């Protein structure tokens, strides 16, 4: 057996990972109009935390054609899923699961939460196609449907631990993961698979909102 030790070391490295560093603010970006290194402009708000997925600079477009960065969701708890509109099996279930999570939330939190769908299908799920999907599924203003280029979607998927690939028939094989983000954009919970776990997801979201 000539197994390269890389795989085993990798496993060991993962086990050794241990506790994450405590949340801290990254260095504030320098104001372009001031001296380099000066404090950030107060109106721009504090930088994202080191665990925030909003640190990625990927740009998306929503289904109204507006440019969108994930950082715009800051301040709201988020239920996030990657999907594609022509998906006939898992994605409709995932959207239904997101609706079920919404129904389980306490009223005060339910109205503040954002429900976000980002499409794998960068070619077909244009903003217009996503608008059509919104209408078909009767998704209200609390839902954000996002189109991105391949680089943006791949980076977001990598952050969330979602694997996917396009098959020859134009469908996508993908992980089924619903992610809960707190108000800073930090992952507080992930629901894997298609069965159960909705109470836990709703509870994690409610707990993340202090």
Partner 1 sequence: MATLLRSVRRLVPGLALAVTLAGGTLAVVEPATGARLVRIPGGVYVPLTRTTKDPAQVTVAAFRLEERPVTNAEFLAFVTANPKWRRSQVSRLFADSSYLDYWAGDLELGPRAPARSPVVRVSWFAARAYARWVGRRLPTTAEWEFAAGAGYTRPDGRNDEQLNRDLYAWLARPVPDVQPAVAVGRPNCYGLRNLHGLVWEWVDDFNNAMVTGESRGDSGLERDLFCGAGSVGAKDTTDYAAFMRVALRSSLKANNTTTALGFRCAQDAAP
Binding site for partner 1 (CB under 8 A): 2-7, 9-11, 13-14, 16-18, 20-21, 26-27, 36, 50-53, 55, 89-90, 154-155, 157-159, 161-165, 167-169, 171, 173-177, 192-194
Instruction: Confirm if 205 and 180 have CB atoms less than 8 A apart.
Output: yes
Tell me whether residue 65 or residue 196 sits nearer to partner 1 (CB atom).
Answer: 196
Write down the least CB distance from residue 106 to partner 1, Å: 28
Q: How far is CA 203 from CA 56, 66, 98, 120, in A?
A: 27, 32, 13, 28
Instruction: Confirm if 30 and 36 have CB atoms less than 8 A apart.
Output: yes
Tell me whether residue 135 or residue 194 sits nearer to partner 1 (CB atom).
Answer: 194
Write down the least CB distance from residue 92 to partner 1, Å: 12
Contact residues for 179 (Cβ-Cβ < 8 A; gap 6+): 78, 79, 80, 81, 160, 187, 189, 190
**150, containing H or E segment:** helix 150-160
Task: Record the tokens describing residue 26, joined without a space.
Answer: 């990254």
**109, containing H or E segment:** helix 107-110
Instruction: For the sheet with 143-148, list strands across it.
Output: 67-68, 60-62, 143-148, 114-119, 78-83, 177-181, 187-192
- Gap between the Cα atoms of 150 and 125, Å rounded: 12
Tell me whether residue 100 or residue 194 sits nearer to partner 1 (CB atom).
Answer: 194
Write down the least CB distance from residue 180 to partner 1, Å: 16
Q: DSSP 3-state assignment of 186? A: strand
Write down the least CB distance from residue 178 to partner 1, Å: 11
Tell me whether residue 110 or residue 155 sits nearer to partner 1 (CB atom).
Answer: 155
Tell me whether residue 25 or residue 100 sits nearer to partner 1 (CB atom).
Answer: 25
Tell me whether residue 4 or residue 210 sits nearer to partner 1 (CB atom).
Answer: 4
Write down the least CB distance from residue 144 to partner 1, Å: 21
Write down the least CB distance from residue 128 to partner 1, Å: 26
């Amino acid at each position: 057996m000539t197994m390269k030790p890389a795989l085993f070391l990798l496993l060991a490295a993962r086990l050794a990972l241990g506790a994450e560093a405590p949340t801290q603010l990254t260095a504030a970006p320098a104001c372009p109009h001031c001296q380099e290194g000066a404090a950030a402009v107060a109106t721009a708000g504090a930088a994202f935390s080191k665990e925030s997925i909003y640190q990625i600079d990927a740009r998306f477009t929503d289904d109204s054609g507006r440019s969108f960065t994930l950082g715009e969701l800051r301040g709201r708890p988020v239920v996030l899923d990657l999907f594609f509109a022509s998906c006939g099996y898992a994605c409709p279930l995932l959207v239904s699961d997101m609706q079920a999570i919404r129904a389980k939330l306490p009223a005060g939190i339910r109205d503040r939460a954002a429900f976000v769908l980002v499409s794998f299908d960068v070619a077909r799920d244009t903003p217009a196609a996503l608008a059509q999907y919104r209408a078909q599924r009767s998704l209200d203003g609390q839902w954000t449907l996002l189109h991105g280029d391949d680089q943006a979607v791949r980076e977001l998927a990598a952050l969330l631990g979602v694997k996917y690939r396009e098959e020859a028939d134009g469908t996508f094989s993908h992980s089924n993961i619903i992610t809960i983000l707190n108000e800073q954009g930090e992952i507080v919970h992930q629901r894997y698979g298609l069965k159960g776990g909705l109470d836990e997801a709703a509870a994690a979201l409610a707990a993340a909102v202090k």
